[in-house]
């Protein structure tokens, strides 16, 4: 009878002793649990390590401590209802998750999106990429003892989070994109605020570069550790800064341009040795490239109205408009634009056509229309009521974007109803974690911390 195959952990446990008949000595290896409560494991990863002294002879990586059922939950709500769930995939750069999911559904619908909406999506995605890299580099440096670097990086991230907050109304769970466009336009004066924030971020990056790039302790801890070859990285499906650190020139923004990435100039930083130090170099340079992309977008972005044109409509209080409509005085409100409470102006009619498609079957009407006329109210109801909403044709699509950790892909199957039949996410750090043993076996115990930090493991996208 065939014996059941042992798990890696069982093999580790049964292989902890060996006897040398020549010397008569028995050698015992140590089994050590690292995580999930270990600070460097983020509370959600367990590594069972087999140690020979300080050397890692074998490891078993266990994930799944933060499983959130994103994919199944996405099949129970409307297409736009998935947006808050996408925020919680890579919660350090949620805008990229928003964008990737929306573009997958738009591909399913064969729906063209306004150029301004694409520009804004790219601007916000690249700002998010910088915040993600700041967090990764800062936290990794802190785990190696460079606490000052962490404080500097978080200070820089704060400038960018203020930009995100002024656009989306939130800092982390932003739910900004919509199928067909965006929740709202960029606020007035956003370009000036962005240039000022980038100036501060660049100062911090120079300070960090001076603190640790040539620091002997940091350099020695990073150089030559966590090394992986091109062949191994490709065989495990690794992407993003991890793959590019080995010298493989693959970036979804370049190889499969989406949105308006083919209209901006930027370089893809590459490493040579695929070690922790090269991954640090790649991320540091990628932050500068992302800021250049945003600056180009702010120069090139097509304009849109930011104020009511007196020729197209005169302002009127929404309450007065409703009263006149009830009395049948339609002729008194046809040339008016409703003045609503600020909380109702998420995507108002002044810029609605610039940031959302003019497709009633997909995008919600402007708040003024919803609260100002019966057609807008009916359109709103049809899109939010169960059993109605956005109804893509039957079919399936896969759409990849370049996340902060690599290729973030959404595979969506539609059965023609208002909910997705199947949603599958390709999380970039999952493939990296799958090959983590390739980076750690044979290394020293102390090398686990910088190597795991360079993975930039985000539990929300890893466990989904």
All structural domains of the chain:
80-303+429-463 (1.10.645.10), 314-384 (no CATH)
Res 355: pLDDT: 84
Q: Please, what sign has the CA dihedral across residues 451, 201, 301, 187?
A: positive
* Residue 113, CB-side half-sphere exposure with 13 Å CA sphere: 29
CA distance 241 to 280: 9
The answer to whether the predicted template modeling score (pTM) of the entire model surpasses 0.75 is: yes
For each of the chain's 464 residues, which pLDDT tens digit applies?
Answer: 555 666 655 655 555 666 667 777 777 778 888 878 887 787 888 989 888 888 888 888 898 888 889 999 999 999 999 999 999 999 899 999 999 999 999 999 999 999 999 999 999 999 999 999 999 999 999 989 899 999 999 999 999 999 999 999 898 899 999 998 998 889 889 999 999 999 999 999 999 999 999 999 999 999 989 899 999 999 999 999 999 999 999 999 999 999 999 999 999 999 999 999 999 999 999 999 999 999 999 999 987 544 444 445 677 777 788 888 888 887 777 777 777 665 555 556 677 778 888 888 888 888 777 877 788 889 888 888 888 888 999 999 999 999 999 999 999 999 999 999 999 999 999 999 999 989 999 889 888 989 988 888 888 888 88
pLDDT of 198: 97
What does the block give as tokens for 414? 């539609």
């Amino acid at each position: 009878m065939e014996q059941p195959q042992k798990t890696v952990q069982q093999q580790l446990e049964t292989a902890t002793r060996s006897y040398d008949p020549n010397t008569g000595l028995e050698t015992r290896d140590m089994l050590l649990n690292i995580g999930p409560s270990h600070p460097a494991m983020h509370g959600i990863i367990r590594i069972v390590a087999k140690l020979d002294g300080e050397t890692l002879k074998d490891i078993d990586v266990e994930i799944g401590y933060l499983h959130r059922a994103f994919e199944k939950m996405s099949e129970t709500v409307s297409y736009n209802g998935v947006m808050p769930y996408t925020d919680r995939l890579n919660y350090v750069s949620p805008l990229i998750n928003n964008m990737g999911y929306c573009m997958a559904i738009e591909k399913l619908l064969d729906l063209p999106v306004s150029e301004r909406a694409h520009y804004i999506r790219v601007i916000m995605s690249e700002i998010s990429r910088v915040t993600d890299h700041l967090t990764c580099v800062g936290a990794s440096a802190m785990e190696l003892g460079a606490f000052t670097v962490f404080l500097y990086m978080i200070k820089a991230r704060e400038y960018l989070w203020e930009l995100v907050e002024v656009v989306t109304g939130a800092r982390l769970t932003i739910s900004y994109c919509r199928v067909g466009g965006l929740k709202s336009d960029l606020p007035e004066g956003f370009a000036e605020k962005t240039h000022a924030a980038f100036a501060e971020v660049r100062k911090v990056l120079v300070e960090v570069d001076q603190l640790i790039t040539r620091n002997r302790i940091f350099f020695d801890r990073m150089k030559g550790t966590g090394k992986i070859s091109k062949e191994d990285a490709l065989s495990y499906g690794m992407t993003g800064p991890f793959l590019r650190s080995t010298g493989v020139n693959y970036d979804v923004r370049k190889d499969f341009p989406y949105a308006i990435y083919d209209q901006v100039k930027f370089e893809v930083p590459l490493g040579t040795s695929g070690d922790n130090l090269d991954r640090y170099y790649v991320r540091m340079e990628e932050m500068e490239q992302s800021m250049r992309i945003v600056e180009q977008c702010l120069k090139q972005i097509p304009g849109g109205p930011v104020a009511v044109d007196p020729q197209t409509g005169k302002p009127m209080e929404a309450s007065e408009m409703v009263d006149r409509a009830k009395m049948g005085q339609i002729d008194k409100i046809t040339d008016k634009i409703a003045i609503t409470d600020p909380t109702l102006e998420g995507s108002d009619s002044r810029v609605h056509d610039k940031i959302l498609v003019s497709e009633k079957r997909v995008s919600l009407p402007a708040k003024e229309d919803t609260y100002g006329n019966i057609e807008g109210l009916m359109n709103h109801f049809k899109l939010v009521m169960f059993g109605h909403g956005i109804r893509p044709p039957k079919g399936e699509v896969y759409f990849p974007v370049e996340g902060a950790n690599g290729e973030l892909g959404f595979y969506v199957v539609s059965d023609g109803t208002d909910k997705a039949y199947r949603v599958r996410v390709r999380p970039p750090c999952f493939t990296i974690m799958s090959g983590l043993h390739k980076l750690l076996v044979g290394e020293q115990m102390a090398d686990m911390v910088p190597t795991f930090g360079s993975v930039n493991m985000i539990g929300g996208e890893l466990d989904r």
